[in-house]
Structure 1
């Protein structure tokens, strides 16, 4: 997410942002609006001019009736990703390229928080009041007229202009939005049919997907295609395009995440920072810290094993060598140390079941009774580097 400039906003300027165009306008008013537009202000007329762009805009309007609370902070999340942290006397204008249904969360404190769902469409402006001037609409979308009413009684100190980073999208980025993305992640073999699991965000928007490390051969590369994807749970299944590869059956099984206990030992496998650490598979160990993930998400585990960029899409395994999750994300170290998240294996299994083209899947662990080092040596031949461009 790229933070734009912060600018001082007068009451009249904010009202101009939200008010409809007048059917008639004096030359004086027109000149003022043109001048403000040249200075970078956002007027309704400017929004109409931009209607051909492939993005939407969400305008967050904090409100509080208590003067001392106006400098308190609130945090705004979309799809459980922090997009803004603002004071209760600041407007946030957020330009978003992702489309579709998204989880929307507002946190005023550890105990006071709100959650709802937003449906984002192209070329629309959404208004959300943070606080309680209208009890039925608080912390939800409101009409433009209600937002205008709020401007009549409340003055803001500044506007924060922010924009979604399309190389790290919040949701689904449409095909007609240009992305410059070269990256890598991790994937693991699902069956001897050549199906590979990774994260949706690893391959989202990629024109070309390359798989390396099949049968431990990092010098050979094979193109793959996305067979099925689930951007809500950040999962994707790939299929190697070549018919010349014979995939052996994986030695591990996918174990139900319902059997996993808090405090259980786990191991994260992947290829982090491949440009620095080269092609050898890396293993880090830790424990299950919580059976819920980021902001209480029931689809994730929180675990303590250290993960780095490009670990994404790799398996999280238990002491028996079974897969209990898919490594997905890491919380910013400034907020919390050693907080990593994995999509639970039950959500992966459900995703596989819904993907009709996939012939499943390892259900038996052939490594029972073997030492961890022996298990990892076998497993390593089924964990791959995923490169995208």
Structure 2
């Protein structure tokens, strides 16, 4: 009965919000160019959701589906389906609204009836099945299919795919706590959900990190950011108590369940963990995307920092605030941190309503090995006056075969272009055609002229050639080329890690252990460093050290290390 009443209220609200003409709602000055501008901005901020874009419907019309913010609408109704082109279309007219539910790929449709010629506002629960390029609304025997027109999605492995995590504000001016593994390998950090708004993404930088205890602090540094406002909670200075009530607010599976924060509750089930003393265990449900979210006590103060269950090895864990306060104490930027405790005696709904605007969604660009994620291809790669610039854009957009074609054209006119050979080699390598890549890297080295201004340094050519040789299991030759790369760029973390990995493959275990032990400070590569050092220890029979390293690697997100721990408990 309650849900029915809620739906009636929403229907009345939508009817009242519509323009007087046949109960419809129209977006002023809206067209295809405006829709693309909005989409491009959200892609660049890393906040575009899979349902958003320009779609062609089986009813013959072109629509834009976009997320919007309007305080007059209920919180979950945040997508509108807007006419753009087609027979009898009225650009800017909203045909209906989509409500994101808490179930995987399950939406509720509000607004004008998409299955009839009437304009009556209706609420329909329709299952949405996604593919890369289309989705359908289904109800009984009626179906409307939408085919993606823009932006196109490239699911090739790429070096700029997006990872999600959570965090929470500790100062009004943008300092945010999260997990180290959330920001590890970050090329850039974008924060959204500030004060409950997801229309704006803010650039952020890393301030300080504690890899051992999986903590990090970042800060929003963006010209359009103003303030969080007064922080409504404190960081508790005493450890959790076994059996204590607690709850988490975070963003589990935000790419599927939507970007509204989710609240789950439970108790502290253990105050220590035998493997990691910085952690407590709890019964609060957390999943991928919840990493870095706050665990609150019954008054709404921060009790711990959640570490999401991001592989099969861990139970639900959270880092105690005593370790967070230790990290804050080491940060000069936060030496004057002062927070006010939450007001006691409130009910959970009031606490959640107060605190959730300070829990943020964090987007990270990084390069996980072997993982496939959508990469949105915008209309920014066009033919330019500079062919090399166009080829670089094609490569950056993961359009490797197009890049190879463009670079081949360049080499037809300039057969001694070292940069073109190198980039074509990188494109072959991205397609896992390493023999072709090595040929082009050799040509790039042959025509490299240190007296000229080259786009790519010779050290990069040697390193990438070594990587392709490693994939071809030609480890000794790879080591020779890596040695030349190290001479050109001696303080490069990726070169050092590759050196250790190659020494492992040629069974120089002691040498590899020494190399890895000297580079554990490279925080964005620790999953690889500890995993391979663990393999080296295991190869020479030092199993306890191997297990300790594998546990560290698993903490930093290495699934291979988690699998090893399952195989050798």
**TM-score, scaled relative to structure 2:** 0.35
**The 10-residue stretch of structure 1 (222-231 or 237-246) with the greater mean CA deviation from structure 2:** 237-246
Q: Which residue does 2:329 correspond to in 1?
A: 353
- Cα-to-partner distance string for 1:34-62 (whole Å, 9 max, x where unaligned): xxxxxxxxxxxxxxxxxxxxxxxxxxxxx
Distance in 2 (CA, whole Å) between partners of 1:324 and 1:266 is 8
Alignment of 1:287-298 (within 5 A): 287-293=267-273, 295-298=274-277
Q: Which residue does 2:228 correspond to in 1?
A: 247
Which of 162, 169, 176 lines up with 1:189 in the alignment? Answer: 169
Q: Which residue does 1:262 correspond to in 2?
A: 242
Matched, 1:317 2:296: yes
Which of 253, 259, 265 lines up with 1:279 in the alignment? Answer: 259
8 Å CA contact retained: 2:231, 2:340: no
Matched, 1:376 2:356: no
In the superposition, relative to structure 1, how do residues 262 and 223 fare at CA in structure 2: closer, same or farther (>3 Å)? same
Which of 188, 202, 213 lines up with 1:222 in the alignment? Answer: 202
Consecutive unaligned residues in structure 1, runs of 5 or more:
1-177
Where do 4+ consecutive residues of structure 1 move more than 4 Å? 178-181
Distance in 1 (CA, whole Å) between partners of 2:308 and 2:202 is 26
Distance in 2 (CA, whole Å) between partners of 1:383 and 1:197 is 10
Report the secondary structure of 1:330's partner residue.
coil
1:370 Cα offset (Å): 1.9
8 Å CA contact retained: 1:197, 1:236: yes
1:179 Cα offset (Å): 6.0
Structure showing the higher strand proportion among its residues = 1
Distance in 2 (CA, whole Å) between partners of 1:367 and 1:283 is 19
1:358 Cα offset (Å): 1.8
8 Å CA contact retained: 2:288, 2:310: no
Distance in 2 (CA, whole Å) between partners of 1:310 and 1:351 is 23
- Cα-to-partner distance string for 1:332-385 (whole Å, 9 max, x where unaligned): 56x78xx30000000000100011122553532242222221111010110000
Matched, 1:308 2:287: yes
In the superposition, relative to structure 1, how do residues 370 and 202 fare at CA in structure 2: closer, same or farther (>3 Å)? same
In the superposition, relative to structure 1, how do residues 241 and 331 fare at CA in structure 2: closer, same or farther (>3 Å)? closer
Q: Which residue does 2:151 correspond to in 1?
A: none
Report the secondary structure of 2:333's partner residue.
coil
Report the secondary structure of 1:357's partner residue.
helix
Alignment of 1:119-158 (within 5 A): none
1:268 Cα offset (Å): 1.5
In the superposition, relative to structure 1, how do residues 304 and 331 fare at CA in structure 2: closer, same or farther (>3 Å)? farther
8 Å CA contact retained: 1:193, 1:359: no
1:331 Cα offset (Å): 7.6
Q: Which residue does 1:231 correspond to in 2?
A: 211
Distance in 2 (CA, whole Å) between partners of 1:239 and 1:363 is 17
8 Å CA contact retained: 1:198, 1:314: yes
Q: Which residue does 1:364 correspond to in 2?
A: 340
**TM-score, scaled relative to structure 1:** 0.51
Which of 196, 212, 218 lines up with 2:192 in the alignment? Answer: 212
Distance in 2 (CA, whole Å) between partners of 1:242 and 1:332 is 33
Report the secondary structure of 2:322's partner residue.
helix
Report the secondary structure of 1:312's partner residue.
coil
8 Å CA contact retained: 1:187, 1:196: yes
8 Å CA contact retained: 2:270, 2:282: yes
Distance in 2 (CA, whole Å) between partners of 1:275 and 1:225 is 23
In the superposition, relative to structure 1, how do residues 183 and 360 fare at CA in structure 2: closer, same or farther (>3 Å)? farther
8 Å CA contact retained: 1:252, 1:362: no
Distance in 1 (CA, whole Å) between partners of 2:337 and 2:300 is 15
Distance in 2 (CA, whole Å) between partners of 1:255 and 1:342 is 14
Matched, 1:342 2:318: yes
Report the secondary structure of 2:231's partner residue.
coil
Q: Which residue does 2:452 correspond to in 1?
A: none
8 Å CA contact retained: 1:181, 1:206: no
1:198 Cα offset (Å): 0.6
